[in-house]
Structure 1
Amino acid sequence: MTLLAHDRYCDEIAHQVGLLRAVVTSGADLSVTVPTCPDWSLERLVRHTGGALRWVELMVRTRAEKEVPEDQVPSGDGPEDAGELDAWLAETGDLLVAALREAGPDTAVWSWAGIPTSGFWARRMAHELTIHRADAALAAGQPYEVAPDIAADAIDEWLQIVEFAQRTIPDDESRELRGAGRSIHLHATDGTAELDAEWVIEFTDDLIVWRRGHEKATVALRGPLTAVLLAFYRRLPLDSPELEVLGERELLEFWLERASFG
């Protein structure tokens, strides 16, 4: 598994911020409930996402050695007037991308995942935006697509996060994803020779083991890469027409119930 270039993540953050701003300015009802985050309105989703970006920007810019409380982030909740959210998002994206580009990928910055670098945050925020922009598009009834390299890397990152949670969080539900002899295969049907968009996830008696590749598994999830990404992040139902589940569906559902980050 190879990370994308630092500048690629920075470019994607800028791109995804622009797409999220387009949802905000499209005339969508900001009070509508986000179906994939039912405790939030679309406005709350936007504020949460922008606030997360501001939080990371502050930590990267100040080279934080420990976690910064979110209530210490300037303008972290956004403007009181929802009509000013677009300008706030634009400024937020510019600030974060500038901080990340200036830091480069290897600057020491606190993180929660045992990878204390600015590069970790560039990747994490690119995918935070990728998924929450999907939430926003679904709430607004708008189409959603994402670049294949970003979608594939988002699946890689998620698998790493699940393994990290298994290893370090004693009461996390991901620790139930154990028991040798069971496996999941993710198969993006629109993958190419240049982009190996298939994954094998093996359960063991300890931590999950995963790799890119095509192998027979207990259950397989097949479909276009964007659909596989959204289903794996619990943003798209398994019964969606563009998806196909082959084998023991219950195992895939078991995974989705216990791997619930984001």
Structure 2
Amino acid sequence: MASGLLAQIAAFADAVDGADWDAPVPTCPEWPLRVLVGHLGQAPRWAAGIVRGGSPDGIPDPREAVPPQNWRAWLLAGASELVEAVRAIGPGTPVWTLTGPGPASFWLRQAAHDTSVHAVDAALLAGVPYALEPDLAADAVTQCLELLSSPVAEALKPAVAALRGAGSIGLRPSEGAIEGWVITRTQTGVSWRRGPGRADVTVTGAVEDLLLVLMRRLPPQHVAIDGDGQLFDHWLAHSAL
């Protein structure tokens, strides 16, 4: 995860170099680019503080971040600070996380996936290519499902409660070496498992595209949908974390 985080923060910096920092980010519509840059400089430092010192005082507001003139070095230094904090304490050492006590590596994984999605945001804004390693994209899908099935998911995002119900969704990567996922909606929440299986709707595509559709960065037309398309549309409408 450390190499993935560092590679994606560098890709983000490359994509935004020369861009208008006041431009709205179409795939992250609540923030202009300036705030997104602030977030990616601020978030790993906040996570590093948690790894080093326990529970946080509160989630920082990226609108208050002030990137310095040498913003590229600032971004890279923030990501490196988190890598070093996790390395120093040990990736398996228990720390505070969004879902309760967990390993310090939780924050490295969270930062790597958050940064990779925002690197795509920046690339789409700038009109430049992007690339996510398939293993990184697959783990990001898994992490998303872990968070959505967590007992605290509805407390973090009340809209997730709408995912209770019936129906199943299969996610099938077109890369044969990557195992898929089967998501099951129940009256008490969301469950999921890795592997093949029948589902009410099956979504097939490159694992990068599956992730970016799930994260609402690409429209569903980028993947093949077989079965109950309304069920998948409902999932996309209520699964944002």
State whether TM-score is above 0.5.
yes
Moved >6 Å (runs of 4+): none
Q: Report SS of the residue matched to 2:56.
A: coil
SS at match of 1:134: helix
Specify which of 182, 189, 192 is matched with residue 200 of structure 1: 182
> Is 2:237 aligned against 1:257?
yes
Structure 1 portions without partners, runs of 5+:
1-8
Correspondences of 1:215-226 after superposition (within 5 Å): 215-226=197-208
Match of 2:5 among 2, 6, 13: 13
Provide the rounded CA distance (Å) in 1 between the counterparts of 2:38 and 2:28: 13
Which whole-Å CA distance do the structure 1 matches of 2:153 and 2:98 have between them?
A: 13
Instruction: Pick closer, same or farther for the CA change 1:168–1:115 going to 2, 3 Å.
Output: farther
Aligned length: 240
Change over 3 Å in CA distance of 1:19–1:229 after alignment to 2:
same
Q: Is the 8 A contact 2:40 2:75 kept in 1?
A: no
Show CA shifts across 1:60-97 (max 9, x none).
123x1x22335699xx8233x5x421121122122121
Residues in 2 aligned to 1:163 and 1:222: alpha-carbon distance in whole angstroms: 22
**1:176 is aligned to 2:176:** no
Say if 1:67 and 1:111, in contact at 8 Å, map to a contact too. no
Indicate the percent of aligned positions where both proteins have the same amino acid. Answer: 35
Shift, 1:251, TM fit: 0.4
Rounded to whole Å, the distance in 1 between the matches of 2:144 and 2:95 is 21
Change in CA separation of 1:148 and 1:247 when aligned onto 2, cut-off 3 Å: same
The 3 A distance-change label for structure 1 pair 212 and 88 is same
What is the TM-score when the length of structure 1 is the normalising length?
0.84
For residue 133 of structure 1, the aligned residue among 97, 119, 122 is 119
Give the drift of 1:169: 2.2
* TM-score, structure 2 normalization: 0.91
Secondary structure in 2 matching 1:208: strand
Residue 245 of structure 1 corresponds to: 225
Cα distance in 1 for residues equivalent to 2:170 and 2:26? 27
2:14 alignment counterpart: 22
Aligned partner of 2:51 in structure 1 is: 60
1:219 Cα shift? 1.0
Asked whether the 8 Å contact 2:38–2:65 carries over to 1, the reply is: yes
In structure 2, runs of 5+ residues without a counterpart are: none
